[in-house]
Amino acid sequence: MIFAAISTATGQLLWKLSDAILDVHMLGGFVLYGMGAVLMTAAFRFGKLSVLHPLLSLGYVIAIFYGTLFLDEAITFNISMGTLLILIGVIVIGGDSD
């Protein structure tokens, strides 16, 4: 599920970088986003939905870092606190051993 989150977030970044024109970034974004969907489907097939689905929220955390690294977006205090809460939730729910 983590690879699905990384793949979809990267695909979305590439869409953003394409400036809504059909180019290598846009096509790469489609491939990565599609790969993320396939990985997510495979994970759901073998795992518990209640544990796996919250792990997709890691895509938001990855997108925040991508925005900072590639799009010169600022990380504010509120974004930092929200990111921390997402990570705590992923650890609490994703750490379920049942």
Q: Which of 4-13, 71-80, 86-95 has the lowest mean pLDDT?
A: 86-95
Question: What pLDDT was estimated at residue 98?
Answer: 57
Read off φ and ψ for residue 72, nearest 5 degrees: 55, 35
CA–CA dist 94, 63 (Å, integer): 19
Q: What is the tens place of the pLDDT at every residue in 56-85? A: 899 999 999 999 999 999 999 999 999 999
Q: How confident is the model at residue 32 (pLDDT cuts 50, 70, 90)?
A: very high
Per-residue pLDDT of 14-25, as tens digits, reads 999 998 889 999
* pTM as predicted: 0.88
- The length of the chain is 98
Q: Which of 46, 17, 43 is nearest to 30 (CA)?
A: 17
Nearest to 87 by CA among 21, 2, 8: 2
- Residue 53 confidence class, pLDDT cut points 50, 70, 90: confident
